[in-house]
Copies of this chain bind each other. A is one copy, B any other.
Amino acid sequence: MQATNTKNFYLAYIACLNAQDWSRLGDFVEADVRHNDRPLGLAGYRAMLENDFARIPDLRYEVELLVADGNCVGSRLRFHYSPQGEFLGLPVNGRRVVFSENVFYELRDGKIARVWSVIDKSAIEAQLA
């Protein structure tokens, strides 16, 4: 894909997540998708996302920075929300936290096949301190 097409594809994927339109997730994500080297597959990936939205009612993906290059996408996502209970092992308990996720995606046949995500845990710890 051209970089512009790849970016448009990715923004449509993010819109699908924010709409929680899970029936369309397979339009964007490969059946054998891996997330941080875990072989989740599409069903496991969907379960992970559904669980995120269940625990975090005000979850919303905001793309702060986007770089694309053929079959690779890099994105800096910004979140400000209030997870219930523990989040990344931290006692957030409904407090509002603001943090970023830097994430890369490898596309195969025009869909997301691999995801490597890192969440800024140190930023959350600083807000809870």
Contact = CB atoms under 8 A, between A and B. Distances in A.
A118 interface: yes
Interface in A84-122: 88-89, 100-104, 106, 116-122
Contacts of A69: 3, 67-69
A116 B104 contact: no
A120 B3 CA distance: 27
Contacts of A67: 67-69, 72-74, 104
A65 interface: yes
A76 interface: yes
Given A100-B118, A102-B116, A119-B122, 4 more contacts: A68-B69, A76-B104, A118-B118, A118-B119
